[in-house]
Amino acid sequence: MSLNTPIFLKEREEDNSKFVEIQQSQTSSIAAEYPLQNLCLASQEVLQKAQQNGRSKCLKCGGSRMFYCYTCYVPVENVPIEQIPRVKLPLKIDIIKHPNETDGKSTAIHAKLLAPEFVNIYTYPCIPEYEEKDHEVALVFPGPNSVSVKEISFHLQEKIQNNVGGKNDDLDKPFIKRKKTEEQDLNDSKCKDTTLKKIVFIDSTWNQTNKIFTDERLQGLLQVELKTRKTCFWRHQKGKPDTFLSTIEAIYYFLVARTCLRMKPAKESRVER
């Protein structure tokens, strides 16, 4: 009996492991199919009171606004900031806003209000420099060269290897030294963290996106597309398919997709090439 105990324990551990994998897979599938069902909604009492009291002034610029100031990205006077939930995000978000985008209609500001430490909004032509960090930054925008969320890590690793392979600054060095340098660069690239650290979104009407998207400062970034989501936004753009998401929807659905991917067993999330 004692001889069979380790075998029994091993089989039990394997069964438990399989059960956990199945549970994780089912949970991620449900979250992907019904992304809004697990939302933790904060009390809306503070907003209801603010609506009853009407417009209030922004404590920064003095403008008259309802709920929040879309210029300063802060709640107005009659919406106590301590009563607004703060969201901690798994990565940083940059939003490039078109100068002609109406501030009062921009949903990007909602992200800044809820996660001020993780979200930055820039008005075009102001765009941060991403050239030295293109192995850890991606742009959410549809197109023929875009990849799915689950392919991000693979393509970021590819960028690191291509950057190493493309170096030719040491051509004047002796061959042996140059080879050692190349080998060291390759080893360094393998040690580099390919975790996505920042995601970029464009905030504008779909007819205005081309000007920002074609900017050379964004051309080196990996493009990511959310292909299976449909908008629920009440102010849907006329003449556009329901897969054209508002900025806040794109941010939310991207984060949901990344979370679901991390919940899956490693062997399921591996990209085959």
Q: Which tokens hold the place of 73?
A: 């990205």
For residues 244-250, give the mean pLDDT.
89
Share of the chain above pLDDT 90, in %: 48
More confident residue, 77 or 189: 77
For residues 19-32, give the mean pLDDT.
48
Q: Which tokens hold the place of 208?
A: 């205005």
Residues 1-19 have pLDDT tens digits of: 444 555 555 555 555 555 4
User: Cβ contacts of residue 111 below 8 Å, gap of 6+?
Assistant: 93, 95, 119, 247, 248, 251
Q: Supply the pLDDT for residue 76.
A: 96
For residues 160-173, give the mean pLDDT.
60
Rounded CA separation 80/153 (Å): 40
pTM of the model: 0.74
Q: Is the model's pLDDT at 256 over the cut of 70?
A: yes
For residues 162-172, give the mean pLDDT.
57
pLDDT band at 147 (very low <50, low <70, confident <90, very high): very high
Q: Which tokens hold the place of 144?
A: 């023929």
Q: Supply the pLDDT for residue 252.
A: 93
For residues 84-92, give the mean pLDDT.
93
Q: Supply the pLDDT for residue 172.
A: 53
Q: Is the model's pLDDT at 245 over the cut of 70?
A: yes
Whether the bond into 80 is cis, omega within 30 of 0 = no
Rounded CA separation 59/247 (Å): 26
Mean pLDDT, the chain, integer = 79
Share of the chain above pLDDT 70, in %: 68
Q: Is the model's pLDDT at 264 over the cut of 90?
A: no
User: Cβ contacts of residue 263 below 8 Å, gap of 6+?
Assistant: 24, 27, 28, 31
Q: Supply the pLDDT for residue 271.
A: 44
Residues 36-46 have pLDDT tens digits of: 777 788 888 99
Residues 177-201 have pLDDT tens digits of: 544 544 444 444 444 446 899 999 9
For residues 115-139, give the mean pLDDT.
94
